[in-house]
Structure 1
Amino acid sequence: MKTKAKEKVLKQLRVICSSQGKVTANQLANSLNLSRQNINHYLIQLAQEGRIQKINGRPNYWIVPSTQPANDLTQSCLKSVIGYNGSLRSVINKCIAGIKYPPQGLNILITGNSGVGKSYLAKKLFEYSKESSIISTNAPFVVLNCADYADNPELLSATLFGYKRGAFTGADHDVQGLIANANEGYLFLDEIHRLSSENQEKLFLFMDTDKYRPVGEYNKWYTSKVRLIMATTEDPQKYFLDTFLRRIPIRVQLKDFSQRPLTERIELVSSLFLKEAHKLEKQIIISSEIMNALTFNEYSGNIGTLKNLIKISCAQAYAACTDKRLEITTAVFPGKLTMQKTLDTLVIDPNQKQSLLSNYNKYNYSDHLENLLQQVLKNVDIQIIKNKLEKFLLLIKNENDYNFEDYQSRNLLHLWNNYVVERYGVVNSLSTFQLCLTLKNTVLYLNQQLLNSVYKKICKKYCRTTYIVETFFKKIAFFNEDKVLLLKIVTALLISDFVNEKININGLIIAHGKSTASSIQEVVNQLCGNYIYEAIDMPINSSLTDVVDQVKKYLHDQSYLHDLILIIDTGSLNQIYTLLKNEIKGNLIVINNLTTSIALDVGIKINSQQNFIDITKELKPYYRIDIKSFDGFSDKNNIIISCMSGLGISKQLKIIFKKYLKNNFKIYTMKYTQLKEMIDKNDNDFFKKTVLIITTSNLPTSFLIPHFNIYNIFDSKNSNLFQEILVNQIGLKKYNTLIKELIKFFSIEGISARLHLLNPKIVINDIETVILRYENYLEYNFPEKTRLNLYMHLALMLERLLLSNKKSDSDKLPAVTDQKKINFLNISKKILHPLELKYNVSVSNYEISLLYELMSS
C-alpha cells in the first residue's frame, strides 16, 4: 500500500509541475486529500531515490527533474565533467534544474574545499546554458573573486554595482559594474563568504527585483538580467545572512578528491596527464608507484594540487627526456608516495583524443534488469534467472562493444584473478566477472529498496559466495556508491555456480607472518578447486588475544556459521576454547600444527562434504587437536560453580570439588552475571549437559536445571538434592568428607584464612555491626547460614574493592522500579556509609543489589 501511495504522490506531483513548474507539500496534500505528514514522508523517500528534487525556501518547493538526465547529457558539454554520471550526477541534475527553472533560473551556490573544481563546474554550467539555448551564444560570463576586495567592502560594492562620477575621490567618470557587464549572461562570484553584510543586503535586493543603484546614484534605479552562480569554501550558515541564504535555493557541495570513487580519481589523473601529452606531443608512461600516490593520497589542495604535481613531474621528466616519451617515476615526482599497490603502470598516448573511461552507453537497460531482479523475490527458478542475466549482460557487451582493455578494467580483472581466483580457488570465474563489468559504465536507475531486498535473499541462499564478494568489494573501492550493491548482486548470482554452497564446515587458517596463512590458503583452495579456507596473516608480535580478536571478526562477517575447523601455527588450545566458547554455536576443532599438508588433508575432507564427527574421528589419531561442541555450554557432563562474591570463591570451591569429582564431571566456574543472563534468557539448551549448578544464592524455582545454594549444606532439610546427586557418584563416605571440608571453608576461620589484605578480627567486628543494623531495619534475625553467607560476602567484597579501583561491568543496572528495592538501596547507602569511610571504598549499586538478593533468599 505504501509503494502505491508513493507512486500516486509522484504522479500528482508530475501533473502539477507540468502546469506550474513547482509544487509545495501543502498543495499536494490538498490535491490528494492526504495529511501533510504523510506527503512529506513520501516526498523525502522520492528525493532519496533521486526521482524528485527539493528547492529550499519558505515554503520549500518540489520539482520533477528530467526523467533521463544522463541521456540528455551524453551529447552535452557537461559530459566532459568527470563524474557527471557518477558521484556528481545528483549535483549536476540539481544545477540543471536551477538553470532551466523559468523565467531566468534559480541562484546556485557551490560549496567545497579549495581545489575541488567549483570554478570549473560554474564555467561548464554556463556553457551548458548556451548549448541548451537558455541564454544566447554571445552571452557574457563575468567572474569576481570577492576575496580580492575583502578588506575594502566599498570598493567591492563599486566593482559589483558600478559608480557615478563624483561618488568618491578619483571617480571622474561613470563606470559600469560587473552586474551590468553580465546582463543576459552569468555572474560567477567566487569566495562569496568574503562579501560584507551590507553588500549581501544590496545583492539580495537585486536578486529579488533585478534592480540596483551604482555607488553615488540616489535617484535612478538600473536593471540587469543576470543569472548568479556563487562559490565558497566555508559553511554558508556561519557567513551569510538568513535573508541572503533564502535567495539561494540551489545549493550543492563538491567532494574532496580523496572522497571521489576510484574510477573518477583515475580518470582525473589520466585526463590531466593527457593534457600534458597533447601539449608536449609525447607519450607519457606513469609508473605504478606514481599512479598509486596520485590516486590514493589526500591532497589539501585537491585537484588544484594534483595539477601542480603532474605539471612539475612532466616538466622534470621533459627536461631529462631524450626520446619521444616521458617516464614519470619516483625520481621526478615531488609528492609523497603511498604503500597502496592497487594500480598498475599507465600509458598515455598523445594521439588519444579523450581520457580513459569508455563512453556511457546510450541505452537505458534499467527496466529489463529490474524485472529480472523482481523474479528473484518471486522465487522463480534461480537458474533460469542466472541464464537470463548472463544473456542480458552479453547483450550490453555486444551493443556497446566493450573490450575490457581500458585501464580500470584491466586492473580490476587483474585483482580478481589474484584475489578471488587464486586465493579463494574460484577457478574459471574470471570471464564471468569480466561480463559483470559491463555494468561498470552502464547508465542504470534502479530502486534501492528492491536491490536491498534482493541482496538479503541472495545472502541467505549463497552465504559462501556472498562472503567472497563482500570481502572483495571491501578491499577494492573502485565503483560509484550507487553501483556497488547492484554489482554485488550480479557478481554473486553469476559466480555462485563456481562455489560449493553445500559445504557446511568453515575452514580458517591463522599464521604469523606477512603471507604465511594466505599462501597455504591459496595452495589448498586451488588444489581443491573451491573456496575451502579463509586465511588471516598475523604480525609476528601478535598475541593470543590478537588472534582471538581476528577470529571473532571473521565470525562476525559470516552471514551464518556452521562448524569451524581452525588451524593455527601457535597458541594454547585451552585458552582459545575459553575465549571463543561464547562466540561459536556450532562445533569447533582447533589444530595447533599448521602445515600445507595438514591443511590440504583437512581441506579435502571438507570439500568431500564429510560430516564434522567423521572428520574428527579421522583427524584425532594423526594431529594434535582438541575438540569441543559449542552447541551448549559443554559437550561433557558438568557442574557449574558461580558465586556472587566473585570468581575467587568459585575457583576455591572448584579446587575442593575437583578432589572428589575429577573422574565424574567436568567442573566449570562462571561469572554470576553471565549465569543470570543465561537464566533470564531461559536458554535451557545452553545447560543441556549440566548436572548441577552450585551458587551462593537462590536461583528462580522456574529454572529447570538442578541448582543448589551451597549455604544449604548447613541445613539438612535442604541438602537432599545435593546429596542425592553426589552420593550416587562418589559414595557416602567421600560425600561426608567433602561436606566437612566445605563447612570448614565457610566458617569464620575459613573466611579469615582468605583475607590477605584486611585484618580478620577487625573486619569481622565491623561486618557484625553492619549485619545488626540490617536486622534492626528489617526487624528480622538472620538464620545462622545467612549470617555466615553475609560475613563471607561482605569481607571478600571489601577486600576486592580495596584491591581494584576498576568498576565492574555489572555496575550498569537497569532502572529499579520495585519500591522494596528502592527502599533497600536507600537504607543500604546509610548502613554502609561508615564502612565506606573507614576503608576508603565506594560500594556500588550493583554490590547493594547482590546484598538484596542474598537477604531475600
Structure 2
Amino acid sequence: MSQKNGGNIGSLKNVVKFCCALAYKEQQNEKIIKIDKNHLRTDELNFNQKVKQYYFQEFMKVNREDHDIREINPVKNERYNRLYEMVEVVETLLTDYQKNIISIGELRKKLTMELNRSLDIIVYHEEKHEENDLISNIYLETVENTLKIMESTYGIKYYGNTSKILTKVLLFFRNNIDTISNDYNYIRIEKIKNIIGKELSKSLVISEKIINNLESNLDYELNTVVQVIMILYVFTMMSTESTSINAIIVAHGYSTASSISSVANQLYGEFIFEAFDMPIDIGPSEVKDKIKNYLSKVDTSKGTIILVDMGSLININSELEEVLEGDLGVINNITTNIALDIAGRIINGEDVENMITGIEKNNPLMCKFIKSKEKKKAILTTCISGIGTAKKLKKLLKECIGDADIEIKEYDYASLNLKGKDDKIFSDYDVKLIITTTKLEIDGVKSILLHDLINGDCDEIFFHVLKDVTINKNIDNIKQDIIKMFSMDNLISRLTILNPNKIINEVETIIVGYERTLDKRFNVDLKITLYIHTSILIERLMLKQGLTFIEEEELKYKEENSNFIRISQDIFKGVIDEYNLEIPLKEIYIIQSIIESRIGKLGL
C-alpha cells in the first residue's frame, strides 16, 4: 500500500494473485494452502525484507495443464496496472453521472484528469523502442487524416499535438499486444459504451467513427483500453453535450447532405448534424435502415429533427416511430441557410415544436411536427421463481385494483436484474412501480417487496402511484382487498394447487430447519418470502417443472456451495420422501439467494 507509482490497487491485486499461485503450486495436495511472506520472494535481488515497503508491479499468466501448474510467467510493466485501473475508474465516474451524483462539468473534469494520468504513463514515460520510422509515419499520417475528417465533418477541433499523442497510444499497444489482455475489460467497455450511448451519445458516435477509420486503415483491431482512451479523448475535446436534440440531414446525391452538415458543424464548432447521403444507386429503404440504426443508438428523448430535400422523404416519420422517444420534426426543401438557422436554434436550446413553428413563419417550407406518443403507465410484477408466479401475482393485483388506466404486467426477474433500465419494457411503458418477491433495485424506478405490500409498509408508495391513475374503486376498498387477497392462506391457495393448511405446516418445518441449521432467526419479511417461494417450489416439483441450471453453471454452483446443498437436501428430506420428489440445484440456489439477500453471505 506504500507504493508511490500509479496503479497501486492493480499492483496489490497482482501480489495476492501471485502469492496464491506460488503457494498452490507448492501445496497442491494439501487440504489447506498456507501463504506466508516467503511467497513474495520472487526475486532475491529486488526483494526487500521490510515487507510493508515491498511492492510487486506485474501482471501474471498462470498456465494449468493436466490439473497441475506448469508455469508462472510475470509480465514486467506497472503501466498495465494503471491502464486497467483507469477503465474501472471511468466506469465508476460514468455510473455516478448516470445516477446524478456528479454533474456534467465534474464528469468532464474528472475524466480529463484520469485521461491525463494514463497518457502521462504511455506517452511521456514510455520506454524507448526500436520503432520503425516508416511504421511510425504511417500511424501518424493515418491519425492526422482521421482527425481532419472528424473536424471537417463534425466541427470537432483538435490541436497540433493530438495526432502525436494518439499515435503514441496506438504504437504502445501495438508493441505490447501480446501482454495486454483484450478480453479482460470487454464487459466493462460494453457497459461504458452503453452509458455513454444513453447519456453522451454524440461523443460515442464520433469516437466509434474514429476507431472504425483507424482499424480499417491500420488493418488491426484496437485493444479495448485504446477504445476507452479514444472515447475519453473525444469527450474532452467536445466543448459541450448541451445540443441534446438529434439533428439529421437526409439528401439525394453522393455528398449533398454531408456538405451541408459539414458547413454547419464547422461554423458552430460543434457536432450538431449527422448526414445521410442517398446516392442514386442506393435504395431509399437502405438509407432509412441506416437512419433507424443510428437513432436506436442515441438518446432521442429530448427530440429529433430531420431535414430532407424532397417531398418523398417528408413522411419518413412513419418508419422511425419504434426507435424514437421524444418529439419529431421534419422539414422539407433543405438548404444550407435553413440548416444554419436550425443549428442556431438548437444551440440556443429551443425545443422541436418551437423550431418548427419558427421555421414555418419565416420560410415557405413543408414541415411536420409529430408529438411523442405518451407511454402507457404500468405496474410490473416479478418473481425470482419464474414468470408463472409473476402472472398469478398480476391476477391478484388486478382483482384488488379493478378497472384502471394503468396496465399490470408480469415480467421476467432475471431480465430486469440483468439489464435494469435498459430493458425494452422501459422504452415500451412508463413503468411506475415494480412489485417483486425478492429485492430488486433499478435506478429511477420505484420497487416494493411483496411482503411490504402485504404488511402495509409501502402503502404511501403504492397509493401515490395510483393517485394519478383513473380508477373505479376508492382507495379504502383497494386497501381492504389487498389485506384479504394477500392473506397467507389465500395467497398460497391462489398461487398453488396445493392444500394451504397442509402445505403451510410443511413449509414452516422447512423454514425452521434453515433457522436452526444456520443458527439464524429470520425476520417476518424473510419468512413470508420463503413461505410463498417454497410453496410454489413444491408445486413445481410435483408438476415435474423444477428450475434447472445449464451444465456449466451447475458444476460451478455445486463446487462452491456443497455445504448449503447438503443442508438443504437434509431439510427437504421429509417433503422429498413424502411426495417422491427430486429437488434440482437451481431451486436450492434460489433459496440461498433469497436468504443471503436478507441476512448477508452465509459463511459455510
- Highest RCO, 1 vs 2 (Cα 8 Å, sep ≥ 6): 2
* Normalised TM-score (structure 1): 0.34
